[in-house]
Amino acid sequence: MSYTSGMQAFVWLVIALFLPLKSLSAGSTIRTWWHSQSVQTKGPISLWQVRSSSEYEVFVRPTNPSDSKGQPSFVYKSIPRNGEQQLPYGDQDGAEFAVSTNLSMNWTSFQYSADVFVDIRRQKPISPTSLVSIKPSFLNLSYEQIDSHTVRVRVPYRRMGYRISIEFDDDLYWSYSDPSFHGGLLNTAGVGARIHQEPRNALLIFAEDLDSFPAADDVAKNSETYFPLPGLIEPELWQGYRKIVFRTGVYYLAPQSHAFLPPSVTELYLEGGAYVKGSFEFQGREQSYSVSGLGVISGEIYPYEADRKNQYQRSNQGQCHGDCIKLLQFFSSKKPQQLRLEGITLANPPYHSFVVYGDSTSFAMTVSRFKQVGAWYWQTDGLELLDGSSMRHSFFHSNDDVIKLYHSNLRISDIVVWKAENGPVIQMGWVPRAIRNIKVNGIYVIHNRMYWNDQKHNHCLINSARHYLDSGSDNLADSSKTISDVTIDGVIAEGLQLCALRLYLLGNLESLTIKNLFVDAWNDLLYTSQLSLLMPMTNPEGETVRIGSPMQPIGLQLRNYWVAGQRVSLERDNWRYFQIGRLAFQTELSPYWYLD
């Protein structure tokens, strides 16, 4: 096999002392990992280092009390701009508030096959009167305080795992929007209206099934499998190999580069504890691809909008979607192709974390137990699922559009969202779209920092934005495009929220059902900032797009909509723009929508 040459065996012996520790005892129900080359700092770190939490330690143990301490589970840490305080460019990048507020996102992943106790030891003492929240709240997970620094959370076993946030009340802060700035300005000084409350130092727990993600040495090995050594990776050496397997360790690409993979490479597998700094571009036209495992792909070596045409520095183009670095990039052909994206964590994206170029009807994706963390910059979107794709049991920290309903025949369920200030949770606009047969179920918004007071067209929980070419134009619709048979069921938004939905229709809206929409409460902005809108646009010839159809005139149905514990309905007459429902739909559209 490719990794057992005499020279590589010698190298493995030399670096053995620097490898991370993997913890898995014989017959154990738990697997964790550790990095010996970790550092705790607020500044930049070296390529061969990984940033660890300075706030939290985590131990995982069976619920059998005979194992009193448990296994340490490494707690990673992401900070805005990766510790680079001075911008190498003049304008904003979306991370300003996170930097000024000293935000961080800490997370740990482990594997288990039975119920476990997760002990969280905090550096700062925990008061006996402190409260701990575990989100999403509907999971009803319990905790107990063990000592002055430790709380214990019982995590039941389930095959699809858990993606939860542990939040200490003395770590929470309020954000506010200063109205003296156009659109508002986020601050923590109490100036203006309250926007949202969230942790300053987030702690995420990703509990994953033990059997679903084998250790690297248990992955099938053959002449087409290559195991890079920790340290500098050189993708040009992977020519002729199909599967690249990363063992636990820290890997990195050369500065100012990305991995342009040989056409033979169709699979990446990152064992839990594999931490790879860089980005991967697949260039083959094979039938199936896979990126899986519980490792991390981090974009921390790149600045915001790192542009390949600008030596991987900040783009100097007005729009760099084709040239800016994405942590995972694919190309589709017109023949059927499939991608399996499972378990992986994408951290510190410098731009969109994922993109597929080419034909959108032939590249189906199966996404499960995917995580995105440390999305501090603008344009750190979620995944764009192409026709026939599914996504479930995943987590997104995002500072732009999260769930993109851009293509047909999608199935999306059990998604936890931590939303920064830019973009909506669910997006189906920007261009006229012909989409149908979409089912979305179980979107759990645990935080949402949208703060704009000027009715941005591309915000709210559910959104269809104006045309990207000219957001001020009302006549860029296309009446030949239709949205039909789309159901969004079970959006649960915790804490204060900006708005429910804004739909600027760039095509016909034949049938959109939104049901079981629960909003804890609106933020403290004026109600005029929180309005839900339904706005049919016109095409260049002045023709207005259609809502509904001859067979079914009602194009938008809202069912079981709740705000602040009140059910919003036509019967209760609490739906209007100045009431709790905040629906500001034009009177002439009344025949085309319904609320019950």
Residue 214 lies in a domain: no
Q: Given this model, what pLDDT does residue 220 score?
A: 75
Q: Residues 294, 170: one domain?
A: no
b/e per residue, 227-245, with b = 16+ CB within 10 A?
bbebeebebeebeebbbbb
CA distance linking residue 391 with residue 382, whole number of Å: 11
pTM of structure: 0.95
| Domain of 82, in residue numbers | 30-209
Query: What share of the chain has pLDDT > 90, as a percent?
Result: 85
* pLDDT greater than 60 at residue 12: no
User: Number of C-alpha atoms within 13 angstroms, CB side, residue 47?
Assistant: 14
- Helix (H), strand (E) at residue 167: strand 162-168
Q: Residues 343, 198: one domain?
A: no
Q: Residues 204, 290: one domain?
A: no
Residue 25 confidence class, pLDDT cut points 50, 70, 90: very low
CA distance linking residue 467 with residue 252, whole number of Å: 38
Q: Residues 157, 292: one domain?
A: no
* pLDDT greater than 90 at residue 99: yes
Q: Given this model, what pLDDT does residue 222 score?
A: 83
CA distance linking residue 271 with residue 208, whole number of Å: 13
Q: Given this model, what pLDDT does residue 296 score?
A: 98
Q: Residues 199, 295: one domain?
A: no
The pLDDT of 107-121, averaged and rounded, is: 96
Residue 323 lies in a domain: no
Least confident interval from 86-90, 95-99, 312-316, 516-520: 86-90
Least confident interval from 88-102, 146-160, 464-478, 556-570: 88-102
Q: Identify whether the C-beta of residue 270 lies closer than 8 Å to the C-beta of residue 276.
A: yes
Mean residue pLDDT of the chain comes to 92
Residue 435 lies in a domain: yes
The pLDDT of 487-491, averaged and rounded, is: 98
Residue 241 lies in a domain: no
Looking up residue 52, the CATH number of its domain turns out to be 2.60.350.10
Q: Residues 199, 296: one domain?
A: no
User: For residue 134, which phi and psi values (nearest 5 degrees)?
Assistant: -120, 115
Q: Residues 38, 157: one domain?
A: yes
Residue 558 lies in a domain: yes
Instruction: Among 209, 243, 262, identify where a domain stops.
Output: 209
How many domains does the chain fold into?
A: 2
Q: Given this model, what pLDDT does residue 18 score?
A: 44
Residue 463, exposed/middle/buried by CB under 10 A (0-12, 13-18, 19+)? buried
The pLDDT of 194-211, averaged and rounded, is: 98
Residue 492 confidence class, pLDDT cut points 50, 70, 90: very high
Q: Residues 371, 499: one domain?
A: yes
Instruction: Among 154, 186, 209, identify where a domain stops.
Output: 209
- Report which residue type is found at 452: W
User: Number of C-alpha atoms within 13 angstroms, CB side, residue 68?
Assistant: 1
Q: Residues 285, 201: one domain?
A: no
Residue 181 lies in a domain: yes
The pLDDT of 243-272, averaged and rounded, is: 95
The pLDDT of 445-467, averaged and rounded, is: 96
Instruction: Among 178, 209, 240, identify where a domain stops.
Output: 209
Residue 156 lies in a domain: yes
Q: Residues 292, 175: one domain?
A: no
Looking up residue 414, the CATH number of its domain turns out to be 2.160.20.10
Residue 17 lies in a domain: no
The pLDDT of 389-394, averaged and rounded, is: 98
* pLDDT greater than 60 at residue 10: no
* pLDDT greater than 60 at residue 192: yes
